[in-house]
Amino acid sequence: MSSEIEFLDTAPQSAAPIAKRIPFADKNLAIEAKGRENPSQRPIFVSRALLTRIVEHSVSDLAHEVGGVLVGGHYEDNGTDFIEIEGFLNADFADGRAASFKFTHRTWEDITRRVEREHEGKVLVGWHHSHPGYGVFLSHHDTFIHQNFFNLVWQVALVVDPLRMELGFFQWQGGRIVDCGFYLTGAPGR
Ligand SMILES: [Zn+2]
């Protein structure tokens, strides 16, 4: 494998979830289920505004794959584990000109620094990248990245196809990476 994806000096990641009220319990929040609902999956929550910004980033280059990391938290409410995506960071130095998206060592250093500075107390809940025009799936290479660098059971992958305007999440389930639904949150009426 290319040395460009050896970024093993990741920030410390807490594996135990932090107690927090699940968004389902917030009556002021409008929640829309997207994709395939699976009762055994960890629910993933992302606000409509944030997901829109991630999609806009994917649309910014329709000729190359772009991506970055998803920042947020791994939480727990009354025995239910869930994931909340609360921000994202673009991989500014990623090699998007390669056949497929990859994180370079420099990108990883930059991201680690920015998570500490701009998202104190948050963790890397996963990563995102685009597949301009060829659909939502994890390639062999994507699976390699996920298995090696996002291998905690609550870390997820988001793939956006900015040409077909499709997107989907993937998460660990029983040692496999499977596609899964998610919950879009926002203020009611928005
Ligand atoms: Zn890919």
Cβ atoms of 1 and 138 within 8 Å: the answer is: no
pLDDT, position 97: 63
Please check whether residue 51 lies inside any domain of the structure: yes
Please check whether residue 19 lies inside any domain of the structure: no
Distance 75 CA to ligand 1 centre (A): 27
pLDDT, position 154: 95
Distance 131 CA to ligand 1 centre (A): 6
Distance 187 CA to ligand 1 centre (A): 32
Distance 154 CA to ligand 1 centre (A): 19
Distance 77 CA to ligand 1 centre (A): 32
Q: Which amino acid is at 90?
A: N
Q: E strands of the chain, at which residues? A: 18-19, 30-34, 44-47, 67-77, 80-90, 123-130, 156-161, 166-173, 176-180, 182-186
pLDDT, position 12: 47
Please check whether residue 179 lies inside any domain of the structure: yes
Please check whether residue 56 lies inside any domain of the structure: yes
3-state secondary structure of 185: strand
Distance 20 CA to ligand 1 centre (A): 32
Please check whether residue 109 lies inside any domain of the structure: yes
* Stated pTM of the model: 0.89
* Nearest-angstrom CA–CA distance, 121 and 127: 18
Please check whether residue 13 lies inside any domain of the structure: no
Examine the pLDDT at 6 and tell me if it is beyond 50.
Answer: no
Q: Which of 129, 126, 136, 35 is nearest to 72 (CA)?
A: 126
pLDDT, position 1: 38
Q: Which of 75, 101, 86 is nearest to 5 (CA)?
A: 101
CA angle 52, 166, 135 (to 5 degrees): 135
Q: Which amino acid is at 104?
A: T
Distance 76 CA to ligand 1 centre (A): 30
Among positive and negative, which fits the CA dihedral 17, 115, 147, 13? negative
Tens-digit pLDDT profile for residues 61-70: 998 899 999 9
Measured from the Cβ of residue 28, the count of other Cβ atoms closer than 10 Å reads 6
Please check whether residue 107 lies inside any domain of the structure: yes
Distance 95 CA to ligand 1 centre (A): 13
Q: Which structural domain, as residue segments, surrounds residue 181?
A: 29-186
The domain that holds 51 is classified in CATH as: 3.40.140.10
Distance 73 CA to ligand 1 centre (A): 24
Tens-digit pLDDT profile for residues 9-62: 444 455 789 999 999 999 889 999 999 888 889 999 999 999 999 999 999 999
Instruction: Please give the tally of structural domains in the chain.
Output: 1
Tens-digit pLDDT profile for residues 72-114: 999 999 999 999 999 999 887 666 566 678 888 888 889 989 9
Distance 141 CA to ligand 1 centre (A): 7
Tens-digit pLDDT profile for residues 131-163: 999 999 999 999 999 999 999 999 999 999 999
Residue carrying structure tokens 């727990």: 76
Cβ atoms of 32 and 51 within 8 Å: the answer is: no
Distance 170 CA to ligand 1 centre (A): 12
Distance 130 CA to ligand 1 centre (A): 7
First-residue to last-residue Cα distance in the chain: 45
